Amino acid sequence: MSALGLPPFLVLSAFLFACGVVCVAARRNAIGVLMGVELILNAANLNFVAFARFNPAFRLEGQVFALLVVVLAAAEAAVALAIILNFYNNHATVDVDRADELKG
């Protein structure tokens, strides 16, 4: 493992983060946007675990926060899907560009 080091994991995490950002920015389906958010959270989580492995000061903390992020991501997905279902019931679409009723 010492042959590998920290930077490859961080570069992969940066790639996952960039993919998530593109997914959030470019998709019009609300569930696709939610998938982008999941990608971003996974990128952050990969950073937590990689630092827990390679930085002796974060051996426990990295894993603890990774577990908290996994659980909170599940909760966030549940609420987001409930909101999307509600929006679909009222508007018969999941296009995020149509959710503009709060515009002044």
Partner 1 sequence: MTLEVALFAVIATATAGSAVGVVASRNVVRAAVWLLFTLVGVSLLYFLLGAEFVGAAQLIVYVGGTLVLVVFGVMLTAQGPLQSLKTRPTEWAVGGVLGAALFGLLAAVVSGATGPPGEDRPLPGAGPLGLGFLGLTDSPVSYLLPFEIVSVHLLVVLIGAAYLARAKRRAKL
Site for partner 1 in 49-68 (CB under 8 A): 49-50, 52-57, 59-60, 62-64, 66-68
- What's the burial of 99, exposed, middle or buried (CB within 10 Å: 0-12/13-18/19+)? middle
Would you count residue 91 as binding partner 1 (CB under 8 A)?
no
Residue nearer to partner 1 on the CB measure, 71 or 102: 71
Whether the Cβ atoms of residue 34 and residue 81 lie closer than 8 Å to each other: yes
Q: How far is the CB of 90 from partner 1 (least distance, A)?
A: 9
CA angle at residue 22 from 62 to 69, to 5 degrees? 20
Q: Identify the residue among 3, 100, 102, 104 touching partner 1 (CB under 8 A).
A: 3
